[in-house]
Amino acid sequence: VLKCKAAVAWEAGKPLSLEEVEVAPPKAHEVRIKIVATAVCHTDAYTLSGADPEGCFPVILGHEGAGIVESVGEGVTKVKPGDTVIPLYIPQCGECKFCKNPKTNLCQKIRITQGKGLMPDGTSRFTCKGKQIYHFMGTSTFSEYTVVADISVAKIDAAAPLDKVCLLGCGISTGYGAAVNTAKVEPGSTCAVFGLGGVGLAVIMGCKITGASRIIGIDLNKDKYAKAKEFGATECISPQDFKKPIQEVLVEMTDGGVDYSFECIGNVGVMRAALEACHKGWGVSVIVGVAAAGQEISTRPFQLVTGRTWKGTAFGGWKSVDSVPKLVTEYMSKKIKVDEFVTHTLPFDKINEAFELMHTGK
């Protein structure tokens, strides 16, 4: 059993608390990882807020991390101590019917226990002050050491800078994949991206790489426009600058609507606007943002009858174990940007400040 520092969420709505935790050794088909770098994501904040129906407390959050394998349990063959890895919140077992189907990346092998904050055998590897602490998204990267299932880990290039590639564990991969895998954006397309945070910027990057000719960024926060243009947005607009609904503005700007739109916020009203901003006959809208529990989307069925398509994506459609090492290679060969997504680098004990920076859009 190792003792280390972790940021524990004791209850919903409270700041994270830095504690000494005990991390049990990995059992069969488990891997214990020394986390070198982790990022914060709105999904962590969503669970911390108490709005997540699957949220369990006390818990160690975090799902965008990178580190080095410290030890492995019985039966682990794909990684060994010393390997450089990224933990995966969507695993890839290669055996379930989801893994065997090329149409999806949603491996279901450990879905039920992962959703309950437990390892596949139904127990936790974390304790603190004599209490069991739950796992989060099968990863729990807000700890100096974590234990994950062996199907939830991708071995990557040992030369990759971990404080950058940790972002490929969620946000960048999700947005980039939404454009290239889920929407399959074509050269010459017109795209609209709603929400210019990390995921939205990654969508813009994906649209640009696939050769979209016009990429319109939409956000209320105009401070984000310069960055969006660096990533490939051709123009940026704010819904607050118009008297009419944003979908009507976009339809007028684009001679009937965009070919592809992406909702990267998690707001059901914006999801509707994104669909209705699409061109009749062929427009495709992809939901990337995660809405709060119990919320529903709506539109007039005629929108779909007249040829628009509504899609969703999780982790950008990437089959995780196979794809994350390739994404790291694409970054190392400068095909995709990663460094440019990092705005601040803080010591682990300032993790609550990182959440503040995220909430203020900085």
Domains assigned to the chain: 2-169+319-352 (3.90.180.10), 174-314 (3.40.50.720)
49 CB contacts (<8 Å, ≥6 apart)? 12, 13
Which pLDDT belongs to residue 325?
A: 98
Within 10 A of 71 (CB to CB), how many other CB atoms are there?
A: 17
pLDDT per position as a tens digit, 178-187? 999 999 999 9
- Which tops the pLDDT comparison, 52 or 310? 310
Residue 71 has pLDDT above 90, yes or no: yes
Which pLDDT belongs to residue 52?
A: 85
Residue 54 has pLDDT above 90, yes or no: no
Average pLDDT on 29-36 reads: 98
Which pLDDT belongs to residue 24?
A: 98
Average pLDDT on 27-48 reads: 96
pLDDT per position as a tens digit, 274-330? 999 999 999 999 999 999 888 999 999 999 999 999 999 999 999 999 999 999 999
Percent of the chain with pLDDT over 90: 96
Q: In what order do the strands lie in the sheet with 30-39?
A: 145-149, 30-39, 64-72, 84-87, 153-155
Residue 128, both tokens: 């603190």
212 CB contacts (<8 Å, ≥6 apart)? 185, 186, 187, 188, 189, 190, 191, 260
Query: If pLDDT is split at 50, 70 and 90, which confidence band does 3 have?
Result: very high
Average pLDDT on 223-237 reads: 97
Average pLDDT on 197-205 reads: 97
Which pLDDT belongs to residue 293?
A: 85
Q: Work out the mean pLDDT of the chain and round it to a whole number.
A: 97
